[in-house]
Amino acid sequence: MEAKANELGMDILKSTAAQHLLVEDGTVVGVQAEASGTILHVRAKAVILATGSAGANSDLLARYTVRTPEKVRYTGAPGIEGDGIRMATEAGMGECFRLMMPSIGLTVEPLAPFSSQLAVAGAMEPTNLWFNQRGERFANEGLSQAYTFPNNCVESQVRAYSVFDQESFDRLVNEGCLVGWAMYIFAGTKLSDLSDELQRELDSNNPGVCKADTIDELASFFDVDAATLKGTIDEYNGYASSGNDAEFHKDPAFLVPVGTAPFYGFRIKQNCINMYGGIHVNPNNEVINEDGVVIPGLYAVGSECGGYQGETYGLALPGSCQGVSLGTGRVAGTNAAARAQA
């Protein structure tokens, strides 16, 4: 694309942040941008917003999604702060459209599960036992493999944790993880960095990571009632020996007891890689206000134009974010070009 843009004599301004839209009589006529302290006014017959929604903006997450920022770890690209949404609002769109957070999998703060073996071991391995702030199990831990669903389980708890024991730790290192994280850490990968990663988090006093010699110690670290947690673990170990999870019906293959000290505990959070939505558009990808009226000269594409998905990210349809970005980019580009040439 860059080669083609150069061939066509297009200027690409890198490290230049769009700040505001230039609006005259309700029509968008350009952009105000800033580069190294210099303010630029770029006039245009059409402006296309493509700033990627608002994944890194926890205020918008709190206001416009059903998620709680404290239960979410954003592990996507930095700088995706909702600038396009703000600019569209300033230009007359009205309030931000409802946002969707397509959280994928779980993680251990502050780690990203596609690059951290500790995050994969602590948050994604289906053999772990999950417990909440009361020290009780709250879901079938095998759901971790469903990527988009376990987030709802974590969101519905005040706090969520996972635990595994030394035997599981050794299995993860010597035999490999059962699930991994998609194509980033393949299922079956031997987690040879686990010890080093764990030590780094313990050394930095990460309040979400604990290595404990007893369940009492683990419960105290996470401020959970020890007697309840011990009861939960005893019950779960019973399910593991009978091969029958009477509470949540986890696959018996994932019913692994928590019995051999030391124990490894983790605060688990929803893994957010981006957000989706915020700007109202029509099928031409023109930005519309709350009454459906087009803001002339303004288009939006990619993650920040909402309405393509509901509240749960449709992982069954691969490319449901990038595909929308490509498709809407083409639609908006075609229409913006036609407007510019009219």
Ligand X SMILES: Cc1cc2nc3c(=O)[nH]c(=O)nc-3n(C[C@H](O)[C@H](O)[C@H](O)COP(=O)(O)OP(=O)(O)OC[C@H]3O[C@@H](n4cnc5c(N)ncnc54)[C@H](O)[C@@H]3O)c2cc1C
What is the contact surface with ligand X in residues (CB under 6 A)?
Answer: 17-18, 50-52, 76-77, 79-80, 83, 114, 273-274, 302-303, 319-323, 325
342 vs 333: CA distance, rounded Å: 14
The answer for residues whose C-beta is within 8 angstroms of residue 223's C-beta and 6 or more apart is 133
Nearest CB to ligand X, comparing residues 162 and 303: 303
User: Shortest distance, CB of residue 47 to ligand X, whole angstroms?
Assistant: 12
Residue 162 or 274 with smaller CB distance to ligand X:
274
Contact yes or no for 163/137 (Cβ under 8 A):
no
Q: Is 321 helix (H, G, I), strand (E, B) or coil?
A: coil
Q: What are phi and psi of 97, to 5 degrees?
A: -70, 155
> For residues 73 and 171, which CB has a smaller minimum distance to ligand X in the complex?
73
Quote the least distance from Cβ 5 to ligand X, whole Å.
15
Shortest Cβ distance from residue 321 to ligand X (Å)?
Answer: 3
Q: How far is the CB of 312 from ligand X (least distance, A)?
A: 15
Q: Which residue, 18 or 298, has its beta carbon nearer to ligand X?
A: 18
Whether the CB-CB separation of 106 and 151 falls below 8 Å is answered with yes
Q: Name the residue number minimizing CB distance to ligand X.
A: 302
Residue 56 or 295: which CB sits closer to ligand X?
56
Residue 139: partners with Cβ closer than 8 Å, 6 or more residues away: 130, 150, 153, 248
Question: What is the SS3 assignment for 272?
Answer: strand
Q: How many residues does the chain have?
A: 342
Beta carbon of residue 327, minimum distance to ligand X (angstroms, whole number): 11
Q: Enumerate residues 6+ apart whose C-beta is below 8 A from 208.
A: 108, 109, 201, 266, 267, 269
Specify the 3-state DSSP secondary structure of 226. Answer: helix
Task: Name the minimum Å distance from CB 143 to ligand X.
Answer: 20
Give the span between the Cα atoms of 179 and 165, in whole angstroms. Answer: 17
- Of 220 and 325, the one with the shorter C-beta distance to ligand X is 325
List the one residue out of 313, 268, 274, 269 whose CA is nearest residue 149. 313
Closest CA to 252 of 242, 239, 241, 243: 243
Instruction: Provide the token pair at 267.
Output: 């605060």
- Shortest reach from residue 317's CB to ligand X, in Å: 9
Minimum Å gap between C-beta 323 and ligand X is 6
Report the residue number, 55 or 257, with the smaller CB distance to ligand X.
Answer: 55
Query: CA 110: distance to chain centroid?
Result: 13
Q: 264: closest CA among 191, 322, 341, 317?
A: 191
Tell me whether residue 161 or residue 276 sits nearer to ligand X (CB atom): 276
